């Protein structure tokens, strides 16, 4: 199998999952939206987005689906399939609509738009993202105050998914230190090699810098 990726948040997450699981995949940097490339990738993902997992049969796209497939192939409980699965799905659903969504809103204004010259920061959107982040982070902080990980006693894909935008906090500037349990939880993730540097040894051009 081959995993097509870039350095953006969701492809980064997929590469981190593959590295953590020691998945038997090749890695290939891709740019479906680059000039002249769209038709090459449209048959693989009609959304023209990454990541994409190539293997026997149809290609697989969407990060969560790829994480599920890689975990199944590795026979790992990283993607829970036992009695913890409903709770994992709870956090995936809530996280994407709340915590990760708020992180994305802030990162888009301070990071993505500035990297790709998409216009000035939309201050009302930024403030709304920070407001949503505060609300979601407070809930997450309370939940994590009595546990090490989101599901059960060990790390799961729910932790990786929830934290998908936090490696980009150098530009997003989210106030993680206001939420000590969230900050402690994220420090644990940063101790995992596959999470901290998923692109180690791969050909992966850096993202454009954010202008100062």
Selection from 8, 15, 6 nearest residue 195 by Cα: 15
CATH number given to 85-195: 1.20.1050.10
| pLDDT tens per residue across span 91-141 | 999 999 999 999 999 999 999 999 999 999 999 999 999 999 999 999 999
What is the topology classification, in CATH, of domain 2-79?
A: Glutaredoxin (3.40.30)
| pLDDT tens per residue across span 165-195 | 999 999 999 999 999 999 999 999 999 999 9
The residues spanned by each domain of the chain are 2-79, 85-195
| pLDDT tens per residue across span 34-81 | 998 999 999 999 999 999 999 888 899 999 999 999 999 999 999 999
Name the pTM for this structure: 0.96
Q: In which region does residue 34 sit, left (phi positive, over 0), alpha (psi from -120 to 50) or beta (all else)? A: beta
């Amino acid at each position: 199998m081959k995993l097509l990726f870039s350095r953006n948040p969701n492809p980064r997450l997929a590469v981190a999952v593959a590295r953590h699981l020691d998945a038997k995949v090749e890695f290939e940097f891709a740019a479906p939206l680059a000039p002249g490339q769209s038709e090459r990738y449209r048959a693989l993902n009609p959304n023209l987005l990454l990541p994409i997992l190539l293997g026997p049969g149809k290609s697989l796209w969407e990060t969560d689906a790829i994480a599920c497939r890689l975990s199944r192939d590795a026979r790992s409980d990283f993607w829970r399939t036992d009695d913890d699965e409903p709770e994992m799905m709870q956090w995936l659903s809530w996280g994407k609509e709340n915590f990760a969504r708020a992180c994305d809103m802030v990162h888009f204004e301070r990071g993505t738009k500035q990297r790709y010259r998409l216009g000035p920061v939309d201050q009302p959107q930024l403030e709304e993202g920070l407001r949503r982040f505060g609300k979601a982070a407070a809930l997450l902080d309370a939940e994590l105050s009595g546990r090490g990980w989101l599901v059960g006693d060990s790390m799961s894909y729910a932790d990786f998914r929830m934290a998908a935008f936090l490696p980009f906090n150098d530009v997003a500037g989210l106030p993680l230190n206001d939420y000590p349990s969230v900050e402690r939880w994220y420090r644990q993730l940063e101790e995992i090699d596959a999470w901290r540097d998923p692109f180690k040894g791969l050909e992966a051009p850096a993202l454009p810098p954010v202008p100062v």
